[in-house]
Amino acid sequence: MKHYHIISRIAIYVLAVVLFVFGIFHFMYPRDLLVYVPDFLPLGIKWAYIVGGAFILVALSYLTNQYVKFSSYLLFVLLVIFILTIHLPNYNNAGDKEMRQLALINILKDTAIAAFALHIAAGAYHQHFHLENSD
């Protein structure tokens, strides 16, 4: 069983690095991401920094093995919001085939990462919310 634990930790570390890079990208190129912020949200470009910070905090959570369950659930919710408010509308409203394909790839990418976040949360047995009676 120790072998499984090592392999799963490596997978979590790989995800942490990916999330960290995504977070850094949000800080380095916020103007490139501003076009993805839905018009109904206030704060404009600040959302790029907020999301970048969230990605970096989740990555640090995974790397330090602290608050893993909580951060995994939050990452799941964040990605589902991205899928529903950004990628799905982009897919439905895409003008050409390439943009529609890019939106679909983003839907699939965020769905896969969200599923992995749920898997990580389910495996974080020692990190309970104090509101839970079982798990």
Q: Going residue by residue through the chain (135 aa), what tens digit of pLDDT does each one get?
A: 455 578 888 999 999 999 999 999 999 999 988 887 877 778 888 999 999 999 999 999 999 989 999 999 999 999 999 999 989 998 998 889 998 999 999 999 999 999 999 999 988 876 654 444 444
The pTM assigned to this predicted structure is 0.84
Report residue 34 as tokens.
């501003």
Rounded Cα gap, residues 22 and 31, in angstroms:
14
Return the structure tokens found at 35. 């076009």
Contact of 54 with 117, CB cutoff 8 Å? no
Residue with tokens 């976040």: 117
Question: Rounded distance, CA 23 to CA 62, Å?
Answer: 14
Which candidate, 15, 119, 108, 7, places its Cα nearest to that of 69? 119
Alpha helices, DSSP H only, in the chain?
Answer: 2-28, 30-33, 46-64, 68-82, 88-93, 97-123
Q: Please classify residue 1 by burial: count the beta carbons closer than 10 Å to its beta carbon, then call 0-12 exposed, 13-18 middle and 19+ buried.
A: exposed
Distance CA 95, CA 90 (A): 9
